[in-house]
Chains A and B, each alone.
Chain A
């Protein structure tokens, strides 16, 4: 475990010392701040719409951070050749993958926490109530969904030849799941034959990142968020899916030749 933590800590250090995260955070913070201070026709419900937009922005930014941080990890290790002195030590490839995953997931979580705290402060100052528990549940589910995205990006970095293609494909897949997945069931029911079965298969195979995304609407309209059992079930699903994707990544990576 010490080895995994050590690798994860280097990923975190790298993120802290890079500038792209700060740029994304400043942009999100500025947009949230501007939206939070907007007052259109003294309409009180405007705060809900602004919250919706800000949450959407947070989702996009969190996906960008999670995917871009993860997708370049193994490429950078190979391109900068830092993987060689690392694997020349008693480090297994499974430990390397787990360390990278953990580092990227924690880094994405820290960025996400900052975004949620910022949003809660801006929305709270506008609405004059502080549903901390709801924000916390939304944050935890969001972070759980990001674990799947991070694992997928790590798997992609073993399959695809370039980080840019991995990033693009991962982003399209994640956005596709968020926007299309909730409607796929309805379409599958309406479609007959092989295509319908195929759609059903896709519906059950793809990770349900859209569950965490749909929490956004409950938060916007101040509806009660799912309880411990439902949230726990969703988190277990995300954990299981993440483990599955990481296992696939390890199976592909464990015997791959690395030439100095």
Chain B
């Protein structure tokens, strides 16, 4: 039986008007096509400025596409209802810092119309999952960065979503924090959740992801199973990634001295 994708992007094109006079428009995404299926962990890769965040911005309704469409669970992303069954963790976690973790989660649970009795159970479950049960009544402004990231994870999980969208979830965390977030993603994967995430940690992607899409300068250069890409290039994912985007080691900078001598 043919499986319906949970996330579907069709000929998506995003153009920005340049802020500089006479610069015209800048194309952030060039006719992107992508599908993510139920239960998959999909890694969305690309160097800075490749268009990963723009894609996520369109999926979440922050930015409107110039042309093309994107669907979540068959619903056009322009409709807020398309976001009913997703959980989103932004790259940098910023939440209402005057609230406690418990209050923040209660607020988001109300947004999802979770019934009151179920709401408290859900809050307990996600706080235990992200190991923040002990700090639930503390205001978020007193949390460390790792704890804030875990609050972010908790809010992304409050509605028990079927699809999780993570934008560089481990960025800026210390090794322990990174490991904890990774363990949670692995656990979610084992529970059968669909995870769509962008990351620069290619080792992490290689371990967790089933499939990856490699974006470069707004174009999808490669999409496929991690095992297939790794075996095709006969190297690890990082090396394969560099070859796919056409990076030559030392290429542009090889002839430029790293330090200019001041002695002369």
Whether chain B is bound by chain A comes out as: yes
Residues of A that sit less than 8 Å from B by CB: 2-3, 5-6, 9-10, 13-14, 17-18, 80-82, 84-92, 95, 255, 257-260
Q: Are A6 and B107 in contact (CB under 8 A)?
A: yes
Query: Residues of B contacting A257 with CB < 8 Å?
Result: 57, 62-64
What's the A-B contact tally at a CB cutoff of 8 Å?
90
Q: Are B62 and A258 in contact (CB under 8 A)?
A: yes
Q: Are A10 and B96 in contact (CB under 8 A)?
A: yes
A-B contact pairs, 7 of them (CB 8 A): A6-B110, A84-B62, A85-B88, A87-B62, A88-B60, A90-B84, A90-B112
Interface size on B, residues (CB 8 A): 38
Bound form: Cα–Cα A14–B103 in Å? 12
Known contacts A82-B94, A85-B152, A88-B86; is-contact A10 B64 (Cβ 8 Å): no
The contact string, 1 if C-beta is below 8 Å from chain A, for chain B 90-122, is 111111111100010001101111000000000
Q: Are A89 and B96 in contact (CB under 8 A)?
A: no
Is B56 located at the chain interface by the 8 A CB criterion?
yes
Query: Residues of A contacting B98 with CB < 8 Å?
Result: 13-14, 17-18
Bound form: Cα–Cα A91–B156 in Å? 14
Is B193 located at the chain interface by the 8 A CB criterion?
no
Shortest beta-carbon distance from B170 to chain A in Å: 17
Bound form: Cα–Cα A17–B110 in Å? 21
Query: Residues of B contacting A258 with CB < 8 Å?
Result: 57, 62-63
Shortest beta-carbon distance from B167 to chain A in Å: 7
Bound form: Cα–Cα A18–B91 in Å? 28
Q: Are B60 and A87 in contact (CB under 8 A)?
A: yes
Bound form: Cα–Cα A5–B111 in Å? 9
Chain A residue, CB-CB nearest to B139: A17
Chain A residue, CB-CB nearest to B53: A260
Shortest beta-carbon distance from B94 to chain A in Å: 4
Q: Are B96 and A3 in contact (CB under 8 A)?
A: no
Q: Are B95 and A85 in contact (CB under 8 A)?
A: yes
Query: Residues of B contacting A9 with CB < 8 Å?
Result: 107
Q: Are A90 and B107 in contact (CB under 8 A)?
A: no
